[in-house]
Amino acid sequence: MTVEIRVPSLPESVADATLVGWRKKVGDTVARDENLVDLETDKVVLEVPSPVAGVLTEIRLQDGATVKGGQLLALIEPAAAGQAATASAGTAAPAAAAAAAPAAAEGTAGKLSPAAKRVVAENQLQPGQVAGSGRGGRVSKADVVTHLAAKDSPAPVAPPAQGAASARAARSDQRVPMTRLRARIADRMVQAQATQALLTSFNEVDLKAVVDLRARYKDAFEKQHGVKLGFMSFFTRACVEALKRFPVVNASVDGNDIVYHDYFDIGVAVSTDRGLIVPVLRDADLLGLADIEKAIGAYAARARSGSITIEELTGGTFTITNGGVFGSLLSTPIVNAPQSAILGMHKIQDRPVVVDGQIVIRPMMYIALTYDHRIIDGRDAVQFLVTVKQVLEDPARLVLGV
């Protein structure tokens, strides 16, 4: 009996998806749970695995199509019991052949982002030909586009002699459609700017106490919990304490109503090859430092591999973004609507400051709170930042709850 392959159910917040690319073609043998096609939503790339081993007999929708939950994608003719084993062995054969290929090509193939895989396949490239600029050599779509542009560009020519007629080498522009995620980010940023009264307040934090605490306990912490002690856990806990004292910063606007949330779902911005996404730490007030570090690490890994789920990106009452990892010293982050505020962390930099009448060198960080001035007054915003500052400069407050 022919098996139908349909678009998986999409969450209520996601209306449709784009068919990024088929991994198989008609007539190919497929194994059970083997990925058939990639679907890109506004937030994540979804893989559609085969529920059975068999042969792909028909493809109903082509690359680039917009699809909705439950829509028919393809048909598979299931294999008999004996054939299923053959199908599985058949899919293993290419892997064995790939093992004999150059190690560099094999390693690079495993580091292609979903969007990069599609462009590589469309242009009949070998994965090992493209140099990756991401972490650990991961190849993004931009890397593939750059490789193609360099491949097609003419050889460089010597500049014309001074005073001679200017002869410019041929130049070209490349028009690349936005991914759904990039388009969604653009829409949300414009929407936030257009519908909220955004204002940013700043403060600075002396992180010496946190730096000393990490240096003192980092080895014992990692040995005990199996994860490194970073700064994000301290900032997350500090923000939760501040949100408890100033609940309007944790609220959102719904029409003419202010919705106050009695829970603390903290979004943590993560940069990926496809753009910025914001996984959510549910009930962050109930998480210890180790729980927060583990959750952030797991989210970041799944986000960069394209395996994070839509549910993990949905919701959130407040967001923290860390531009300091890229060297940013100061910025004004944009609120992640419908939230009403976002905290921006920045680069830790040794600076001279006055402490008890003496000039000393301390690890300082500027922090920024962008907030919706329609419901959050400047007093609340400033006191929120002061609370974050106080907790970070005296981490014992996290234990004592003061």
User: Domain segments of the chain: what residues?
Assistant: 1-100, 101-151, 197-400
Triad 15, 343, 351: Cα angle to 5° = 145
20-62 confidence digits (pLDDT tens): 889 888 999 999 888 898 888 776 778 888 999 999 999 988 8
Class in CATH terms, 197-400? alpha beta
Look up residue 23 and give its amino acid: R
Check residue 93 and give its pLDDT: 47
The separation between the first and the last C-alpha atoms of the chain, rounded to the nearest angstrom, is: 66
Look up residue 382 and give its amino acid: V
What residue ranges of the chain have pLDDT lower than 70? 11-13, 43, 81-111, 113-115, 118-119, 122, 124, 133-136, 138, 141-142, 145, 149-169, 274, 400-402
- Centre a 10 Å sphere on the Cβ of residue 193 and count the other Cβ atoms it contains: 12
- Burial environment of residue 154 by CB neighbours within 10 A (0 to 12, 13 to 18, 19 or more): exposed
Burial 6-40 (b: 16+ CB within 10 A, else e): ebeebeeebebbbbbbbbbeeebbbbbebebbbbb
Do 201 and 382 form a contact (C-beta atoms < 8 A)?
Answer: yes
Give the residue carrying structure tokens 């600075």: 204
Check residue 227 and give its pLDDT: 93
Q: Which residues are catalytic?
A: 373, 377
Look up residue 176 and give its amino acid: V
**Beta strand pairing status for 275-277 and 270-272?**
antiparallel
Check residue 221 and give its pLDDT: 93
Check residue 353 and give its pLDDT: 95
Claim: this prediction has a pTM higher than 0.75: no
Find, among 337, 266, 316, 326, the residue nearest to 296 by Cα. Answer: 266
Check residue 134 and give its pLDDT: 63
Class in CATH terms, 101-151? few secondary structures
Contacts of 95 (CB under 8 A, 6+ apart): none
Q: How many angstroms separate the CA atoms of 369 and 203, rounded? A: 9
Write out the two tokens for 273: 């090859």
Write out the two tokens for 266: 């903290």
Check residue 97 and give its pLDDT: 44
Beta bridge partners of 40: 18, 45
Q: How many angstroms separate the CA atoms of 231 and 214, rounded? A: 9
Q: How many angstroms separate the CA atoms of 112 and 264, rounded? A: 35
CATH 2.40.50.100: does it fit domain 1-100?
A: yes
- Centre a 10 Å sphere on the Cβ of residue 156 and count the other Cβ atoms it contains: 7
Please tell me whether residue 340 adopts helix, strand or coil conformation. coil
Check residue 217 and give its pLDDT: 92
Give the residue carrying structure tokens 């060198």: 361
